[in-house]
Chain A
Amino acid sequence: EVQLLESGGGLVQPGGSLRLSCVASTFDSYAMSWVRQAPGKGLEWVSTIRDSDGRTYYADSVKSRFTISRDNSKNTLYLQMNSLRDEDTAIYYCARHLEWREFFHHWGQGTLVTVSS
């Protein structure tokens, strides 16, 4: 069974930074993504990193502020979040893609990020 475990969430002031981590039981050969969900709202894709070439993709709402990366030797996915805003408050899920498709097959339990002064 694939397991994903996020960590690193917490309370941060506007303009601050956080780094989220996601440790996976299996990691290689799969693209990985971060998806977030604001309190009481729907799902929003944040970022994806491919396995083959490490190419990265971002939602416009986080581009230039967030950086996705992965360490295959540690089976770990990261999301460095800078210049945080109130509207970044959400549960952040890491997700492993379905084969080569851009669907999210396996999900972590999520980590809550709260941006507030």
Chain B
Amino acid sequence: EIVLTQSPATLSLSPGERATLSCRASQNIKIYLGWYQQKPGQAPRLLIYDASNRASGIPDRFSGSGSGTDFTLTISSLEPEDFAVYYCQQRSSWPPLTFGGGTKVEIK
């Protein structure tokens, strides 16, 4: 099973700041990583797939990068609606499909 480790667990930032979230895989997953955003009481929303492709309707302030074992989600300038929990997920080797433990982006 591929284990995904996200860091930091919590990121405290102000609106307008840049957010950098990390996801590390326990083995090489090539580019087969996605990112989701989840707000309280809501279902997750797919942001990024295959490491760097934005899903439909996702603002361009969200970008993804990385390959192999190290991946990054960057939010270039935080908007008030971006404060949420973010999860990474791999599809390289499954079953099982696996998620990281999440990073909470909170208002400083």
Q: Could you tell me which A residues sit within 8 Å of B by CB distance?
A: 33, 35, 42-45, 48, 57-60, 93, 98, 101-105, 107-110
Residues of B within 8 A of A (CB): 34, 36, 38, 43-46, 49-50, 55, 87, 89, 91, 94-102
Distance of B36 from chain A, by nearest CB (Å): 8
Q: Is the CB of B46 within 8 A of A98?
A: yes
Q: Bound complex: CA of A52 vs CA of B89, how far in Å?
A: 23
The dominant DSSP class at the A interface is strand
A59 to B97, CA, bound (A): 8
Of the candidates A44, A105, A108, which one forms a contact with B46 in the assembled complex, judged by CB atoms under 8 Å apart? A105
A107 near B99: Cβ-Cβ < 8 Å: no
Q: How far does the alpha carbon of A60 sit from the alpha carbon of B38 in the complex, in Å?
A: 25
Of A44, A60, A102, A105, the most chain B CB neighbours within 10 A belong to: A102
